[in-house]
Copies of this chain bind each other. A is one copy, B any other.
């Protein structure tokens, strides 16, 4: 009933070969290397006695044909561009290893495109019935390749899309690298996720008057870039007074138009994001953002805030969390912690239709979405062992 560390690590390293990029992996969704990785994983799952389907969005579902009860364990196989070898891959291989170790009761899923090359959680949202054909029609990646064309090239076009049956499962578990510095900094071996942050994303556009940077006096300027800097500065000043303990916010992109040394920017755009596990905190900070933008809009430039994304925080199921916490205490006594997830995960989608929970292992130096991403082998093995332990307990529960 226990996992095989050598088999687990061998599988992880084999999967690393699909799109290997230095120490990391470049395996964008639906790329030839991603399709090959799915085929490899399907073969492994079949060898473990599971029935495998890859569906019309690229979701891979490996079902245990034996009678229940069942738990669903999963993550994703594609990576960020020039990303890490464990982000997603660990959770899929962990599910497979737990299925092999327990000898029944485990279904394994590899959700397509968690990394969002073509959208946001298209795979897990499709599986819970929250992705429309119209959304698929409209989606494309940053290179302008349509999702339809990518699915056709991958060989998945025209296949039905699977809907998972929540009644079949006692819950959903996902093991993932932390992708942050918390466990690594505190020296903890495991983290049990309390909640996955909700996210609000905004485009903030400033419109002033483009003009000559030499001949236009300062007092007559309507400089959209200067207005952007004032609002970004006000956010940096005011948000620390209004946020919660673990709130994060980021200006990820700034563009001045036309962006020339000798031209006063006539327009400017900034992409801004807020994350917290508490919807009330997100609401409060959004209201603060709107107030600061409105104040800046009374100046020389027009300011328009557009909400681009809003995902709700997802609280993890208390019962599944307790099982994971007990398993952590057995695997690493006194050396684990409860913590929120600052990153989004497929578990936040699954949590909308069934009990869900997540387990984290440390990321060395907190690095992720980079080829330098890594986790010590002992931490990988301990994480999968704790996951198997918790899964066995959950399956035995009434």
A residues sitting closer than 8 Å to B (CB atoms) are: 178-182, 185, 197, 199, 201, 210-218, 220, 223, 225-226, 229-230, 232-233, 236, 240, 246-256, 259-265, 271, 273, 275, 308, 341-344, 366-370
Check B256 against A215 for contact (C-beta < 8 Å): no
Check A260 against B252 for contact (C-beta < 8 Å): yes
Q: Taking CB as reference atom, which chain B residue is nearest A246?
A: B217
Check B255 against A215 for contact (C-beta < 8 Å): no
- Residues of chain B within 8 A of A250, CB atoms compared: 213, 223, 261-264
Check A181 against B220 for contact (C-beta < 8 Å): yes
Check B370 against A210 for contact (C-beta < 8 Å): yes
Q: Taking CB as reference atom, which chain B residue is nearest A370?
A: B210
Contact of A369 with B251 at beta-carbon distance under 8 Å, contacts A216-B181, A220-B181, A343-B212 already known: no
Check B251 against A215 for contact (C-beta < 8 Å): no
Copies in the complex: 2
Q: Taking CB as reference atom, which chain B residue is nearest A210?
A: B370
Once bound together, how far apart are the Cα atoms of A264 and B179, in whole Å?
A: 13
Chain B CB within 10 A, most for which of A199, A214, A217, A247: A214
Give me 15 A-to-B residue pairs in the complex whose CB atoms sit less than 8 angstroms apart, sorted by A's number: A180-B217, A185-B220, A199-B214, A211-B367, A213-B252, A215-B341, A215-B342, A216-B248, A217-B248, A218-B247, A229-B233, A250-B263, A251-B265, A252-B265, A253-B260
Q: Taking CB as reference atom, which chain B residue is nearest A185?
A: B220
- Residues of chain B within 8 A of A181, CB atoms compared: 215-217, 220
Chain B CB within 10 A, most for which of A178, A249, A253: A253
Nearest 8 pairs between A and B by C-beta?
A180-B215, A214-B342, A215-B342, A213-B250, A233-B233, A214-B343, A229-B232, A252-B261
Contact of A343 with B215 at beta-carbon distance under 8 Å, contacts A181-B220, A230-B236 already known: yes
Contact of A366 with B211 at beta-carbon distance under 8 Å, contacts A180-B216, A342-B216 already known: yes
Once bound together, how far apart are the Cα atoms of A271 and B263, in whole Å?
A: 11
Check A342 against B212 for contact (C-beta < 8 Å): yes
Once bound together, how far apart are the Cα atoms of A141 and B229, in whole Å?
A: 30
Check A369 against B212 for contact (C-beta < 8 Å): yes
Residue among B180, B251, B368 making CB contact with A226, cutoff 8 Å? B251
Give min CB distance, A28 to chain B, whole Å.
15
Residue among B233, B247, B254, B263 making CB contact with A252, cutoff 8 Å? B263
Check B253 against A256 for contact (C-beta < 8 Å): yes
- Residues of chain B within 8 A of A264, CB atoms compared: 250, 252
Residue among B229, B248, B251, B265 making CB contact with A236, cutoff 8 Å? B229
Once bound together, how far apart are the Cα atoms of A226 and B248, in whole Å?
A: 13
Once bound together, how far apart are the Cα atoms of A248 and B216, in whole Å?
A: 8
Check A256 against B261 for contact (C-beta < 8 Å): no
Once bound together, how far apart are the Cα atoms of A241 and B185, in whole Å?
A: 44
Residue among B214, B254, B366 making CB contact with A254, cutoff 8 Å? B254
Once bound together, how far apart are the Cα atoms of A178 and B127, in whole Å?
A: 64
Contact of A225 with B254 at beta-carbon distance under 8 Å, contacts A218-B248, A233-B230 already known: yes
Check A214 against B251 for contact (C-beta < 8 Å): no
Once bound together, how far apart are the Cα atoms of A349 and B260, in whole Å?
A: 23
Check B263 against A251 for contact (C-beta < 8 Å): no
Once bound together, how far apart are the Cα atoms of A260 and B370, in whole Å?
A: 14
Check A215 against B271 for contact (C-beta < 8 Å): no
Contact of A253 with B259 at beta-carbon distance under 8 Å, contacts A216-B180, A229-B233, A368-B215 already known: yes
Residue among B213, B240, B251 making CB contact with A248, cutoff 8 Å? B213
Once bound together, how far apart are the Cα atoms of A367 and B264, in whole Å?
A: 12
- Residues of chain B within 8 A of A246, CB atoms compared: 217
